[in-house]
Amino acid sequence: MFTTPNYISEFSKNSSGIGDGFFRLYTEAFFNIWSILPSLAEQTAIAQFLDRKTAQIDKAIGIKENQIDLLKERRQILIHNAVTRGLNPDAPMKDSGVEWIGEIPAHWDVRRMKFLCNITTGAKNTEDKVDDGLYPFFVRSQTPERINSYSFDGEAILTAGDGAGVGKVYHYVNGKFDYHQRVYKFSDFREVAGLYLFHFIQSNFYNVALLGTAKSTVDSLRLPLIQDFMICFPVDDEEQAEIVGFIEHVIAKIDTAVLCKEKEIDKLREYKASLINRAVTGKIKVC
């Protein structure tokens, strides 16, 4: 009963404080809130009814959450295979010379990251951000801030150099922007297209460089680790573009499916809340 919107609202109205994080519901105010009180037998029947129904709803939600996990796993596998095996399953293969990559198409090449792009860090601090600034300001989170300056104008990949976003936060941008002093920028791409490299490192860097090679999670990304990270790629620009197109199609298709599942979960949660509310306020008969 106390979890229903009406009671939550009543608790909030009777609380004192200057904001949600500082509200306090004093004992006297709490004791003065009216409660609906059916007979004990009816209370028990309502509780048992809700136990059964909410368990069924929670099970359905769990199934859909598992489906989302499987969709995301499939997306990761398809992207990984595309950037390490290509799109032609019948292509002749050769040993890449890199243990975690394994075999690659015979016409592909392998290079260390430092030979494929320039790698630098920014010069700005988080305090330099400006609300509604003119340009994107890439910090160490997935959500960019804004700023009124720019230090680069062009195609680039950015990733967090320390903190919780190490190996997990990536941005692809083509235009004017600025970036934090602990954010790495990859630009001036050579032999590989920027979007191809973006998908490659987003798919592989964290698991290989930070978990596979280092054997442990890290909270700081060092330049030599980035420079020596191995990249495999088709030497033909058109094949790289074809792979990027395939990946973007896969991402769009699976993200749409994930969004549909998330909407279904939201509807189930709304139904659960509505069911509880109607049951504890006597709007439906449970026995």
Q: Which residues pair with 32 in a beta bridge?
A: none
- CATH number of the structural domain spanning residue 153: 3.90.220.20
In a domain, 245, yes or no: no
For residues 114 and 20, give the distance between their C-alpha atoms in angstroms, rounded to a whole number. Answer: 49
Band of the pLDDT at 214, cuts 50, 70, 90?
very low
What's this model's pTM, rounded to 2 decimal places?
0.81
For residues 31 and 28, give the distance between their C-alpha atoms in angstroms, rounded to a whole number. Answer: 5
CA atoms within 13 A on the CB side of 70: 7
Q: What is the pLDDT of residue 25?
A: 86
Number of domains composing the chain: 1
Range of the domain at 221: 91-232
In a domain, 55, yes or no: no
In a domain, 136, yes or no: yes
Q: What is the pLDDT of residue 42?
A: 92
In a domain, 277, yes or no: no
Cα–Cα distances in angstroms (integers) from residue 15 to residues 50, 217, 283, in the given order: 29, 43, 28
pLDDT in tens, 63-97: 999 999 999 999 999 999 999 999 999 999 999 99
In a domain, 1, yes or no: no
Q: Count CB neighbours of 46 within 10 A.
A: 19
In a domain, 147, yes or no: yes
Q: What is the pLDDT of residue 104?
A: 96
